[in-house]
Structure 1
Amino acid sequence: MTGPAADALVVWGGWDGHHPREAVELFLPRLAEAGMRVRVSDTLAVYTDDDYMARCDLVVQCWTQGEATAEQVAGLSRAVARGAGLAGWHGGLVDAFRASTEYQLLTGGQWVAHLDGFVTHTIEPVLEQAEHPIIAGEASFALTTEQYYLHVDPANVVLATTTIVANDEAPWLAGTVVPQVWTRRWGAGRVFFSAPGHDPAVLRHPSVARITGRGLLWAAGLL
């Protein structure tokens, strides 16, 4: 399905605090360099365009909160089940469309908290997945940003985790290990998610940029 003429749909919108337009623009060159035809949309209506979605090879979504219609979620889900990849980061993928459990089932997780706001924490690759192309060669790295506490589907393949640091908001959760990077299958499609990405500065962190860029290509079947 994928190849030099593959089609990538990049959808941005929702809450402005995650700088969705600037965030997706960081990765447009990576998609173009991979030979993909890139279409950028600031509306969810494209998910109901069955003709286009049927030939789409990758959907990159950065849309925090907001609402999607049942038809829009169904259109996205059908496209991935047919073989399109779905990829995203931070709230742009797992804090979208909170009322849609169908969407949460597709993505494999849901944001529920970032305790104490910005905290210094470590992202740790899972040793058993060290050869996976998304995290191959990556070591643990520290970030000072939101540490995402997520409710996560047990069917995910977890590539990296974080250990919740001591905090005032819910101190009893300190020490909990929470998945931060994962992949999953949805029908014939691939799904990729990475938690770091509150703003473009985080996405420019070398390890975050590598993992995210590789994840997009992996979801498209190009890695």
Structure 2
Amino acid sequence: MPVSSAVPRSALVVRGGWEGHAPVATTELFIPALRAAGFVVEVADSLDVYCDAELLAGTDLVVQCWSEGERREDLTEKQSAGLVAAVAAGTGFAGWHGGVLAAFRNPDYLRMVGGLFLFHPPEFLTYRVEIAAEHAGHPIVAGLGDFDVHSEQYWMLTDARNTVLATTSVDARDGGQGGDAVPMPVAWTRRWGAGKVFVSAVGHRVEDLRESTVRTLTERGLLWAAR
């Protein structure tokens, strides 16, 4: 029987920053699914990994969970340039909640991700997440119905070029302007050069990501983003 010469795909999990978003526990939820899908998984706890051009060039997917903390740590110019260039060259990038959206303020990083966290009400809310009808056949959300989440509800600035897969309705009082509730993106995809990007706003706690629909959506998003 011939031996397969296929090279397994590589995933790099970059985690750290503010412990309130449980970067270790939340990423550990998805590492088994990546391995089951045939990825060799490497874990990094330093942002300097984004300066390793050779490593990133051989990486098919970066999963990031790194939220800014009290030190307001941002990407250095070299770290940002390394990550953004790798994704533009074809490395996938994916993550959830503050691990991506409340991570860094570097302009090039934000252009790549397509969104930035601004605000959430101080209390947890139960809110409805609705799958976008026009993208219901997308492989990340195909077959999934609308679902409820009890957690932080993110108010964000997002890029008009995102492909929004799911939205929620945000109370107008939280927008500071009054009037009717407004739709807010919850999950989206986008392209950055040759690379694919997946972002979900859900995932403040491990419990959020364990919910069956959220977990399915997130796992599919990670796999979709990979090269």
TM over 0.5, shorter chain: yes
Q: Distance in 2 between matches of 1:94 and 1:194?
A: 9
Query: What is the root-mean-square deviation in Å for CA atoms of aligned residues?
Result: 1.5
Q: CA deviation at 1:115?
A: 2.1
Runs of 4+ in 1 over 6 A off after TM superposition: none
The structure-2 alpha-carbon separation of the partners of 1:182 and 1:4, relative to structure 1 and needing over 3 Å to count, comes to farther
Equivalent residues, number: 218
Q: Which residue is equivalent to 1:90?
A: 97
Letter in 2 for 1:110: L
Q: Distance in 1 between matches of 2:134 and 2:111?
A: 25
Q: Higher Cα Rg: structure 1 or 2?
A: 2
The structure-2 alpha-carbon separation of the partners of 1:168 and 1:30, relative to structure 1 and needing over 3 Å to count, comes to closer
Q: CA deviation at 1:208?
A: 0.5
Letter in 2 for 1:194: S
SS at match of 2:142: coil
Which of 16, 19, 43 is residue 16 of structure 1 equivalent to? 19
Q: Which consecutive unaligned segments of at least 5 residues does structure 1 have?
A: none
Q: Which consecutive unaligned segments of at least 5 residues does structure 2 have?
A: 1-5
Letter in 1 for 2:182: T
Q: Do residues 182 (structure 1) and 185 (structure 2) align?
A: no
Q: Do residues 37 (structure 1) and 40 (structure 2) align?
A: yes
Provide the TM-score with structure 1 as the length reference: 0.94
**Alpha-carbon contact 1:116-1:167 (below 8 Å) kept:** no
Letter in 2 for 1:70: E
**Percent of pairs identical after alignment?**
48
Q: CA deviation at 1:156?
A: 0.5
After superposition, where does 1:102-121 map in structure 2 within 5 Å?
102-121=108-127
Segment of structure 1 superposing worse, 4-13 or 202-211: 4-13
Q: Which residue is equivalent to 2:3?
A: none
SS at match of 2:120: strand
Provide the TM-score with structure 2 as the length reference: 0.92
